[in-house]
Amino acid sequence: MQALRNYIDQQTCSTVSDADFALISDALLPYKLRRKQFFLRAGDVCRHKAFVVQGALRVYTVDAKGNKHIQLFGVENKWVGDRESWLQLTPSPYYIDALEDSQLLLIGCPQAQELVRKVPLVAELVRIQDEQYAIETQKRLHAAISCTAEERYAAFVTQHPDYVRRFSQVMIASYLGISPETLSRIRTKLSHLKAEPSGS
C-alpha cells in the first residue's frame, strides 16, 4: 500500500492523513495476476479498476480478422480498466491481460464513489487524474488523425522511452495503429539517420 500512498501524495502535492488512508486502503482489494492471465475479457462487465503497483498490463480490442489493437499500456502508478463499463455496468469491448507478473489494487465503482464523497483528497486525485488523462488522450488522438506513422513513432519514443525497452515491436506497432512491417521500416530509417555523422 506504500506505493499507493506515495502516489497520492505526489499527485495531489499533499500528505494523506492516516485516517483518510485507512478509508482508502479499506476500499481497495490487493490482487495478483500472472503473466498472460486475463483481468477482463470482451463481453464481460469491468467490475473493478486496477491500480498497478508492480508489473504491466495491456488493454486491447480484437477485430473481426483477429487482429489485436492495443488501446493502453498500464504500468506502475497507472490505472487500468474500462471506465464506461465500470460506471454503467455495460459489457466491455476490451480485453485486459498481464504482460508481466503484476500486483494490483482493485476498486469497484460504488466504493470509489463513496471514497470521493468521504475523502476530499480522493476527489482531488480523481480530478487531477482525469485532467492528465484528457490531455494525454487528446495528444494521442491528435497524433492518430493528423501525424504520419514516422512522426507518431518519434513522439512515442520521446514520451515513453521505457515502453520501447519494455514491450515488443509488434505491441508498439499495434498501439500506434500501424503494421509491424511499417514500424520495422521506420526504425531502420531512424537508426540510419542517427548513425550518419552530422554535417556530412
Could you give the count of Cα atoms lying within 13 Å of 123 in the half-sphere of its Cβ? 6
Q: Is 51 in a helix, a strand, or coil?
A: strand
**Is the Cα torsion angle 158, 14, 25, 83 positive or negative in sign?**
negative
Stretch that binds a second copy, among 4-12, 95-103, 144-152, 181-189 (CB under 8 A): 144-152
Q: How far is the CB of 71 from a second copy (least distance, A)?
A: 6
123 lies in the binding site for a second copy (CB under 8 A):
yes
Task: Indicate whether 41 belongs to the interface with a second copy (CB under 8 A).
Answer: no
Does 30 bind a second copy (CB under 8 A)? Our answer is: no
CB of 93 to a second copy, least distance (A): 8
What are the angstrom distances between the C-alpha of 55 and each of 75, 103, 176? 6, 6, 21
Q: What angle do CA 102, 1, 32 make, to 5 degrees?
A: 25
Task: Provide, rounded to whole angstroms, the least separation between the CB of residue 81 and a second copy.
Answer: 11
Binding mask 58-87 for a second copy (x = CB under 8 A): ---x-x---x-x-x-----------xx--x
Identify the burial level of 132 via C-beta atoms within 10 angstroms of its C-beta, where 0-12 means exposed, 13-18 middle and 19 or more buried. Answer: exposed
In the complex, the residues that contact a second copy under the rule CB under 8 A are: 61, 63, 67, 69, 71, 83-84, 87, 93, 116, 123, 126-127, 130-131, 133-135, 137-138, 140-142, 144-147, 175-177
